[in-house]
Structures are given as C-alpha cells and as structure tokens.
Chains A and B, each alone.
Chain A
Amino acid sequence: MALAILSLWSVAQQTFPQNGVYDERDKCYAFTNATIYVSWNQKLEKATLVIRNGKVEGAGVGLVIPKDAVVLDMKGKYIYPSFIDLYSAYGMPEMRNDGQRQGRNFFNSPPQMLTSKEGAYMWNEALKPEFRAYEVFKPADAGAKNYRSSGFGAVLSHNMDGISRGTSTLVTLGDEPPHSVIVKEQVAHHLSFSKGSSRQNYPSSLMGSIALLRQTYYDGRWYATQKGEVNISLAAWNAVQSLPQIFEVGNKLDALRAAAIGKEFGVTYLFKGDGDEYQRIAELKATGSTFILPLDFPDAFDVEDPFDAQMVNLAQMKHWELAPYNAARLAEAGIPFALTSHGLKKGDDFMTNLRKAVESGLARDAALKALTATPASLAGVSDKLGSLEKGKIANFIIANNDIFEKDAKIYHNWINGKPYVLKDLDTPELAGNYELMIGQTTYQLAAKGDGDKVEMNIVVNDSTNVKVKHQVSNNLITLSFTPKGDKNAIRLSGSMMERNWMGKGQNGDGQWVDWKATYTGPVEAKEEKKGKDDKKAIEKSEPGPLVYPFVAYGWEKKPQQATYLIRNATVWTNEKEGILRGADVLIQNGKIAQVGQGLKAAGAIEVDGTGKHLTPGILDEHSHIAISRGVNEGTQASSAEVRVGDVVNSEDINIYRMLSGGVTTSQLLHGSANPIGGQSALIKMRWGYAPEAMKFEGADGFIKFALGENVKQSGASEAFATRFPQTRMGVEQVYEDYFTRAKEYGALKRSGKPYRKDLDLEAGLEILEKKRFITCHSYVQSEINMLMKVAERFGFRINTFTHILEGYKVADVMAKHGAGASSFSDWWAYKYEVYEAIPYNGALMRDQGVIVAFNSDDAEMARRLNQEAGKAVLFGGVPEEEALKFVTLNPAKLLHVDNRIGSIKVGKDADVVLWSDHPLSVYAKADQTFVDGIKFFDRKDDEQLRASVLAERTRLVQKMIAAKQKGGPTQSARGASQSKEYHCEDVEDEVGR
C-alpha cells in the first residue's frame, strides 16, 4: 500500500479561492489489528484507530468500522500519538550563525550603546517581547521532514534570538499553508541569558543579562501604571506574562540563576535545560520547575593518545558517560520533563539517543509521556494533541515494532490525518539465506541488511562471494550476477510471494531458464571475536559516581562537621593572647569551642599539631574566582545593578585550590572597567556546595567602584574609547551625578508617589543609607583623595580602597576618613598609574592607622597569600603577627565579618588552617583547612582524591576506547577550558552563549 500524497489538502471551509474543480474528500481511515498507544499509559492490542477529516474519531478494541472508511490492516504494527517538540525554531526566519551577532565583529567594532532598531521599542535590542512567531511562521519542507522522520507531529516554534524572544507558536508538521498547521498562535514567552544577534554592548556579561531581566520585570510593572511613555516592547512584555515562560539555560547553574529571578517576580519557568541537570538535582528539584531536556549526548573523545587525552577533563569524560542518564535521574527525583530533539545533529540521532536514555534507566512510558502528554499539556493543547483520544488531531506514527526496540522503524507519520510515508508499509523483508535454483544449478544466496536495503551475495565458500545486483519494485524482483569463472552475467526477473521468489531469466548464453529462490533462514551474525566480550562488558558497565561539584576532586560524599581537637600547635590567635605555643584548639559544631592547653573532649578527632602552626583561615578581599561568564559589565559608566552573587560558579576548581592554600573566604568582585561596577559576593570555600550555600550568611553587601586608567579606557584604541568618562576629571562627575540622582531617587521613593524601581540607583541609595559599602579599585593619590571627598560631601565613607598602591602617599588622609586598604604586596610597573607603587605601601599605611589587607586579584597568587603577607615583613618590617592579620583579621574587619572570622577566638567560626611550617614562610603548606568546622582540605586526603581522579579517568578512557572500537561516534580530544581565570581588567563578552 503506497499512499500518494495529495497536492492539496483541505478541511472544512476555507478562504482561499480554488483554481479548478474542488476536490473535497471526507477522508476516513480505519487502522485495524494494531497495537495502539492511545496515550502514553494506555496500550491496546489488536485495536482499531479511526480518523476522519484529520481528527481522531475513535481508538479502541472492537470498534465499529465506518462503512465509508478506507480500511488498512496494521497487523504487527504499532501506532503511537506522534511526538511534540517544545523547543524548535522550525519555520522561523533563518538565524544568522545560530544566535551570534552578525553585521559586525563584536571584538573589532566600536561599542554600540543604544538600540539601532527603529520604532517605539525598548532601549535594548536583546529584548523583543513584541516578536510573535506565528506572524512570521513559514512551513519549511526540509525542516518538517527531519522532524517527521524522528516521529514528531508538532513543534513549538520560536525565534531563538535574544534575552526576551517573544512568543512561540504551536504548529503541526504538515506540508500545508500556515493557516492550517498553526494549532495555537501564541503559546509561551521565551527567554534566555544570551543576547543573541543584538549588537549592543549591554549586557556583556551573564550578570548583566540577569540584571537586565530583573530591571525589565520592574519596568513592566512601572509601565502598567504610567501614562507618559509609549513603549511597544514593554506593552508586549506585560501581555506575554500570562503565558507559560520558557527559559533556555546553558547549564544547571543557569537554571538556578533563572529560578532565582523567577522567585523574585513570582514566575515558575519552564526550563529548556542543557542535559547536565543530574549534576545538581536536589537544588533543581527545589525550584519546582519543569524541564525540557535535550538528548544531544556528547560523543566519546578520541583518547587513544595519552597526551592528547590529558586535554580532556574528568568532568567532560564523566558527562559523556552520564548524559544519557539525565532523564532517568530526573524522573527518579520526581522532576517533570518533556524531551526535545533540539541540538541533535542528524535526524535519526533522536531515536538512537531516546533508546539510549531508555537503556540508561528511563522507563518507556515515562519517555513516551515526555514526548506526548507532557509537552501537550505544557503547551496548553492537551485537548488537541498528545494522545489519540476522540476529537484530537490525527497526529500519529506507525512503526513496525515497539519504538523502543532496536530494530523498530517508523513507517508512517500521519499529520492532520494525512500520511507522510517514511517507509512503505509493504516494504518487503529481503534479508535472509536463500537457495537459488537456476535451471539445474543451485546457488546459496545471502541477503544481509534490513528491509529492502540489503546486500546480496552468492556464497561460493567461506571467503569467496559473488556480488548480486538486485532491484525490487512492487513485488517484482530483478537479480543479476556473474558466476565465478564466467564472463557473462545471468539476469533474472521474477515475482515475490512472501519470501519465495520465482520467475524467468536468461543465462550468459542468452538461454531462457526458470529460476526460484527459497528462503532457508536468517543470515547468522558472525561469531564475535574473542576479547569482544570484555570490551562489551566495559562498554555496558555501570556509570561512575556523581561528584559534587562535578569536576575532578569533587566529593562523592560531602565532608561533614565533626569535633576536632588540634593539639600542641603554635596558635596564631590574632587576639590579645597573641601567638600561643603548644596550645590546643577545640572545634565543635562548626565553631571554635575552646583555646588553651591540655584540653579534653570526649569523642573528638585529635589532630597532632606538634611542630605545626594553626592560623585563622585566609580571607582574600579581592578575588575573581568562581565567577561564571564575565567579571565586568563595563559597558556603562555605572553597572551598580549587576551582582556577582547571581553568577557564583560552584564548579570552579580554583575553590579547591584555594583550600589547598589555606584560603577559606573570598570576596568575589566585579571588575574595574567602569567607575561604578557591580555588587560583590562573599563566599566561603565550601567545596561541593551549590552557589547559594557557599555565600557567607548575613554578610553586609559591598559594591566595586574603580578609578583611573581602566575606567577611562586607557587601553582602548581611539575608536573604542567612547564611553564617558575619558579622564579623571570625568570620573569625579560620574560619582557626583550618580549620588545626586540616587539622593533624588530616595526622596521620590520616600514620597509615596509612584516610581520606577531602578536597580542601578537602588544600589546608590543603599550606599547613601550605609547599607552597602564600597570597595574601590584605586591607584594614584589624586583620585583616592577625590573619591573620599565625594563621599564626604554625600555623608558616607569609602569603606575600602583596593589595590590602593599609592595609599602610602595619603595614608593619613585615609585614616582620618576611615577608609581601609586592601593592597598587593609588591605588584608594580604593569601600567603607568602603578609606576610609583612600592612594596612598603602596606607598612606605611599601617603605620598611619589604616587597616591594611593584602589581596590577590589572581587565582594563582590567592593560594599563597600567606607568603604575600610575609613580604610585608620583608619590605617595611611589619611585625609577623601583624603581617598575618593582613590576610586574615584585617580583611575580615574591612568586610565587617570580624565578629565571625579572622581570629581564633571561642565562639567564632571554625575557619582555620593547620600549616606545616611558619605561616609566613615560602615553605609552609596548608596541611588541613577547615571551614565551619568541616575539614574541606587535607593534604593526605588530597593524595586519595588524586588516586581516585586517576582511577576514574582510566576507567572512562577504557570505556571510550571500547565505544570507539564498536564504531561509536567520537570527537577529537579537546579541553573544556578551565574556569576562566579572571582579573579585574578582563572584559568578557557574553557572546551568544
């Protein structure tokens, strides 16, 4: 039965005129004797499906078949509701280069500060809530074909471009005019963190994208209450809020970040995930969100070369192994999800990967649900799609077997009651062994392959075959071959009856002969070679454990709080007791419980501190570790609205490296590209915890300011140096203006009149109200002085000057103002404004009564800040005890957390480091590092972790090699770059990701 596809298809009345004679048909089909999945959880055997005019009329066992139905016998066939993909750009205008900005090379073009889009739209091009996919939707044959071959019957299509992407439309995948395939015009509002094709600079960082979204929510609220401004985008933004909100995220942490925004504005997003959700499942479950999960599992890496293999991180290897388990793990955790084919390279990968997910523990019914009922319900079209109940659109697939079986093939995909034939239902099964009789001669014919796609050979002996050419057409078969030793070919033509063929032919001499071929059985797969079983066992082996965070040195089991008694150590208390020799410290419930000699504590884990030094954990006041995708939102003079706390990256290996260097707390700062940077985050090195749980509870909020060469864009070429300010004179006016506006904003807010919540000025107001504190990147004395005077005029104080390399020139002024200093020990000469930097800076400022800290601004230096403190002794003769405070108690004071950390005092957090040697010495190693009384680093345990990293890598390398040898796809070894090492001058663009 080969159904011809009709060139015109119409249902009911239509508006289009007909050029010719109308050919309206009351199409009714009955599919009998099939195994029918009416829905994901309702399977009927020997059942009948009746459709009429593109709708399901009924599905059931023993249905009365309408007289006017075309009856199709589906014996042995399986019928499913066709799949729905919620994440598609089908029929959308061609995206240029998959979401990346075109028209200008971002890195080589001058900045564009405002939108270039004409009309009363939003100021930022990355926001296009007014876009409606259904208005531009154009059915595209090639795209539809790909989807149909994977079993899809409908997709939710949107333009994958920008942060607010407008609305999506649900369409079926028929080759019809848009009028008949659009099922629902506007289904969902789509969002992402990627600005896509927007040429504007802002936002240039992930935290900027987050701030822009938050501000837009506030702007929407404001817009609804005001009358002065007409804004098409904001009106549309408000209109789309009632729809489901689908948020594309780049990874599991982005989902948490977006969920936080959702929480703030009362939105529960539907996430299009990245396939790594299994790595932070508990936190994602807590968001209450539903996920759209991709099935684009990574290919194995080429790891045969051991050196090249070094490039591939354990995290990449583990993800290769665990990605197929993602859906199963989410199902197990009770997180609802749909599945998408988005991201897959080839059409047929989808079924392969779907089966892989099922092999990896996803229940078949759950998989089916995630492709039918769940997406239908999420798109609000459960009444039309997702099952084969009466009245629904006749979207279904016909397969030769249970679709989760390896040999299952989709034969037909019916959409709107119209068949799309992928493979003829009557495709003959040719594979097998045949006895071929031609005249009096018998040959053994072997046909290997699948369906009508086979290779035929005459088997002469074990190692010799003669190829047979064949052709099949409507139950007729043609064969031709040249027997071994003959010159001329034998040509045969005949008919096929089931698996037996017979007919007439001409031999090499032109004589007519009778022939027949008799099926004798299947072609046996060749015996697998020895050793393959081992490989197979490796390939099928259970996956490795999850680790937190999902990188090398992550924990299988998170370390726990315990009671520790550190005995007989040299204890640097940073309190009036000074340095205690031969002292004991008891750690209990995460706090320092006792300090003294001869302490006793039942059940405590004793740690021998003989010959060792115990100090408070190191606090790095200026760090850029553990930050995702951009440390600067330096596109405007003020980006006070951005928050590093939104983009803490718990998976950064540098957190573990910090612990190995005795660092227990770091302030993660915005960069120094603009005068008013962003809000910082204070984190403890709780390796393995999720980003939120790493944050220092209850700490005061800080914000980064910056002065000098960076903010006046000294490093940029003329074409790029266009942002105000370009001089230190202008820098002052940025502050003067900012605080003037913040003051007025505060007055408006207090007045009770309606106002637009402005996240930029909110931060300024917090500063004025002494609820947020400034740490300011600074170098030369003039600007340092200037900023203090600005602050004094507005009635507040600069909390901390960071870098502050010329602080020694105005130390007395700083002390009088009340500013602290967080400096480098010895950096200089890297730019003009540090040509008078001196390593005696810390000592001189301290002499004048300034609270001095030394910081890193550098992931490498951060893990030896104790040595940097040692340089304060070398240069300037700071007493050793005071020098250690430069990296412990003093930064704690600067960050207002000295009540919690910074000294070894009963009641303070048990954030301590046990050093192998004098802590200011180059020879000192952090042997054990505790945070909240939890031992997060132990040099001995580190040896164990190294061994397990090696063992896990080795196991995965073997598994990848096994997969490759089996013919699986591979990709060349490549390094996912390490979490980027940021310094404050790095301007990272959030390019299309």
Chain B
Amino acid sequence: MSATDPRAELVSLLPRLRRFAFGLTGDAHVADDLVQAGCLKAIERWHQWQPGTSLASWMFRILQTTWLDDYRSRQRQQTDADSDALEAIAGEDGRRVVEARSDARVVRRVIAELPEEQRVVLMMITVDGLSYKETAEALGVPMGTVMSRLARARARLADAIGGAPDGAR
C-alpha cells in the first residue's frame, strides 16, 4: 500500500497528463475533461496500481482507454472544430514568436493526423520520454510492436516537417 495520498500523486503528474491528453485529443478543453475523468477513475481503481511501476504510464493507459470508450465517438463529428481549437491554442502562447508558433502548430497537426496507435506511442516516448519497456507494458503490447509504431510515426513526422529549413512551412 502506498503511504502517499493518490490524489496528491495525481496532482503532481497533472502537467504531464495534460500534455499527453492534449496530444491525444488535439483539443485543450477536451483534454482537461479527459484528464479529470481519468484521474477520478484512477482514484477509484487505486488498488490496481502496482507501487514501484510508473504511475505516469499507468495513467496514460487509463487516459487512452477512457478516450476510446467515452470520448472519441462523441468527438468524431467535430473534426473541423478541433482544427480551429488547435489554431486557437497555438495563438494563446504569447511568449513565443510567431514563427515558432506556426512551427508548433504544424507539428501538432501532423501528429494529430497520425493513426491513434502511433500517436499514443509518439506522445509517450518521444514527447514524454518513457522507455520502450514502460510503454509496451502500459499498452499491453510487445516491445517490437511499440518500436514499429514509433518508427512509422517518426518516419511520417520526418517526411512532413524534416525537409524544410528550420522545420517551418
């Protein structure tokens, strides 16, 4: 049994969970709803978490299944709205220069268009920095599957944004 309040544990992970959910959903508001639903689910099922394993990867898995089960079907009709939301979010980031902003927007759009299984692996490994092993365990797939999904996602990313100077369009 963990000596730590699960709620405090989860709150300390919120920045990473929100980033992952934003990558998964492509929409900041949907992402925060998803994070809240996922955290409440995790608190209910806290006994299922194995202390000593990565809480982050367990949470990413919960977010992904919650997204699959509860949210994605509802969001599917709103693809256009999601694109607008992506624009709006990129525009909110006032600290960045315009060029960098459009870069980030382009990159997020390319990632948003990846097949979901590739997008999840890219967010967990390339963006969040989890190991292949943690990712494979969290997703319940072999390491080889993780590697091939990642390679396809990275190849697509390289094709889409790797050629232009500074990655800009």
A complexed with B: no
